[in-house]
Chains A and B, each alone.
Chain A
Amino acid sequence: DGGITQSPKYLFRKEGQNVTLSCEQNLNHDAMYWYRQDPGQGLRLIYYSQIVNDFQKGDIAEGYSVSREKKESFPLTVTSAQKNPTAFYLCASSRQGRTVDEQYFGPGTRLTVT
């Protein structure tokens, strides 16, 4: 089955701890994205990557970091510097980083920090 997987579905952490969210795709897509979604709100772009070993900051990159060492993987680290990390995190990929390319989304990870 081709698609995007995110793990885990639910994640709980204590304040002050870094946490890494996993995102893997087997669609052979060049571009990958991380979004944050707060309750009742829209999608906000955290980071995106159009190719391996390259990524760009989105609207709300502060307190987050990413890496893109492999085409199929784009992990997101939520650092202790992120003021309000509790949210629903969505990973997506597209064939290329153009708006004509459909984005395929993963099932999301719901992060709760207390």
Chain B
Amino acid sequence: LAKTTQPISMDSYEGQEVNITCSHNNIATNDYITWYQQFPSQGPRFIIQGYKTKVTNEVASLFIPADRKSSTLSLPRVSLSDTAVYYCLVGFDSNYQLIWGAGTKLIIKP
């Protein structure tokens, strides 16, 4: 059964680069990897999406190795406002259920 694994929590400091990894050993050939950010009492919002190699936008980068069994969300120069929970979404399993990671709570300290 397809599954994802993320660290439960991470701490970092303002101005640092933060990397959060999601493991997805059984990702399907045609599935994309998407990362979302959620603040307390709000709905998640899209950060970045990729299929393979590297994708970069104005807020983050996403690194996906050739075997696609994991992905790493990279947040450059984080600030206090990046404190949030980050989820990876990697597709549907064989029962057509969405495969969400459990979320990584990122705390940025001053």
Number of residue pairs across A and B with beta carbons under 8 Å? 52
Return the contact of B43 from the options A59, A102, A106 (Cβ within 8 A).
Answer: A106
Q: If A45-B98, A99-B92 touch, does A110 touch B32 (CB 8 Å cutoff)?
A: no
Q: Given A99-B32, A99-B91 in contact, is the A43-B100 Cβ separation under 8 Å?
A: yes
Does B89 sit within 8 A of A, measured CB to CB?
A: yes
Complex Cα spacing A41 to B34, Å = 19
A105-B45, A107-B42 given; A100·B32 CB < 8 A: yes
Q: A59-B97, A100-B32, A100-B49 are in contact. Are A43 and B87 (CB under 8 A)?
A: yes
Number of interface residues of B (CB under 8 A): 23
Does the CB pair B90–A99 fall under 8 Å? yes
Q: B13 interface residue, CB < 8 Å from A?
A: no
Minimum CB distance partner of B51 in chain A: A100
Interface code B9-47, partner A: CB below 8 Å = 1, 0 otherwise?
000000000000000000000011010100001111110
Size range of the interface on A? 20 to 34
| B32 and A90 contact, CB distance less than 8 A | no
Interface contact A48-B98, CB-CB below 8 Å: yes
B-contact bits for A101-113, CB 8 A (1 contact / 0 none): 0111111101000
